[in-house]
Amino acid sequence: MSISTDVAYGPLGHNGGGFWSFRPKNKINQIVISFGGRGNNNPIGITFSATKNDGSKDTLTIGGGGTETNVTHNDTINIDGEDEYLTEISGTFGAFASSDNVLRSIKFTTNAREFGTYGPNVGTPFNFQAQNGNKIVGFFGRSGYYIDAIGTYNAPDY
């Protein structure tokens, strides 16, 4: 019996905020993106969720805070069934308020669909794509009020 090892890509972004990691045992099956406010220009917040075998959820919320934030949109991505899984994330990092480089936009891609782009598509682009038949099975990075950096955990299965 072989044990798969996650491959980590990133994180990309800025070194502000504190370290966070979300690598659930089960598949990430829901992502909620919070964005909007001042001319649809505020940095975004993200909540990742995975349903455990007993029906409860592993959940982590990052970003989406700060005194300038006035969230006006919450979009929910549901990743359906066992046959759909995350394959790619992309987006941009850029300046906001007094922060040097925070997540400004993000798009999630599964093997079946694309979701986004959420947030203003401004700043420096980034892209993480699962390679060699792997799936994106988790995320990590740095955040405080805003998402300062993001990376992916990739593995052949959960």
Write the pLDDT tens digit of every residue in 75-122.
Answer: 899 998 889 999 999 999 988 876 678 898 999 999 999 998 988 888
Provide mean pLDDT across the span 10-35: 92
Could you count the other beta carbons within 10 Å of the beta carbon of residue 82?
A: 8
CA distance 140 to 137: 11
Contact (Cβ atoms closer than 8 angstroms) between residue 13 and residue 102:
yes
Tokens of 90: 């992309």
CB-CB contact of 48 with 64 (8 Å): no
The dihedral sign for the CA sequence 125, 130, 135, 140? negative
Please determine, for residue 36, whether its predicted confidence score (pLDDT) is greater than 80. no
Amino acid identity, position 127 = N
Tens of pLDDT, residue by residue over 125-146, are 999 999 888 999 999 999 988 8
In this predicted model, what pLDDT tens digit does every residue of 37-75 receive, in sequence order? 655 556 788 999 999 989 899 999 998 765 555 666 788
Contact of 2 with 82, CB cutoff 8 Å:
no
Residue 1 pLDDT exceeds 50: no
68 compared with 8, residue with greater pLDDT: 8
List the one residue out of 23, 13, 16, 24 whose CA is nearest residue 152: 23
What is the per-residue pLDDT for 3? Answer: 52
Q: What is the pLDDT of residue 2?
A: 46
Cα–Cα nearest to 33, from 21, 44, 20, 49: 44
CA 67, chain centre distance (Å): 22
Q: What is the pTM of this model?
A: 0.88
Per-residue model confidence (pLDDT) at position 41? 59
